[in-house]
A = this chain, B = another copy of it.
């Protein structure tokens, strides 16, 4: 099986020291046979956690969350991104600052789809500065659900998101953790199992 590290090295494009493009399998084209294995790996890592629901955020988290959820046999809820700051009685909301786009947007989840006491696994494609993940955690706090962990495909360990989540006691499982990268080399923090 082609490992995730190998996949990133072979298909990823690094721009400068901070931007990694993985459009060929994760963010525009989706290599479903490979991502299904990623989804199964999240199941292996979290199957003992009694997961009731998987929470992600549109757009890039959805396919991974759906493929993982097949193994857990649980629903996915994806937070919707909105630019407008319209508060609704019927949603949980959090503000997310995008460093890439230098703008703040809102993420929202209908109150119907997160119930107090549920055990929720967060899934996302990337963890970098952690703003989207912190927004999801804020929504979980409002909803009174338990965050059993965060399953991340690619963590940029040289940015602060992972530390911020772990400092909050979140069990972060990143299948690939990039320590440093540039246009010639990607250095991973540890060898993952896929």
Which of A's residues lie within 8 Å of B, judged by CB? 23-25, 28-33, 35-36, 58-59, 62-63, 65-67, 69-70, 73-78, 80, 109-110, 112-113
Contacts and interface: CB of A to CB of B under 8 A. Distances in A.
B36 A70 contact: yes
Contacts of A30: 62, 65-66, 69, 75-78
A28 B65 CA distance: 13
A24 B62 contact: no
Number of this chain's copies in the complex: 2
Nearest to A35: B66
B24 A112 contact: yes
A182 B61 CA distance: 34
Nearest to A80: B28
A28 B110 contact: yes
B75 A113 contact: no
Contacts of A109: 28
A108 to B, nearest CB: 9
Contact of A29 (B32, B73, B113): B113
Given A25-B75, A32-B76, 13 more contacts: A23-B110, A23-B112, A23-B113, A24-B112, A28-B113, A29-B77, A29-B112, A29-B113, A30-B76, A33-B70, A36-B70, A58-B59, A66-B66
19 contacts: A23-B112, A23-B113, A28-B77, A28-B109, A28-B113, A29-B76, A29-B110, A30-B66, A30-B69, A32-B66, A32-B70, A36-B70, A59-B59, A62-B66, A63-B65, A63-B66, A63-B76, A66-B67, A67-B67
B29 A75 contact: yes
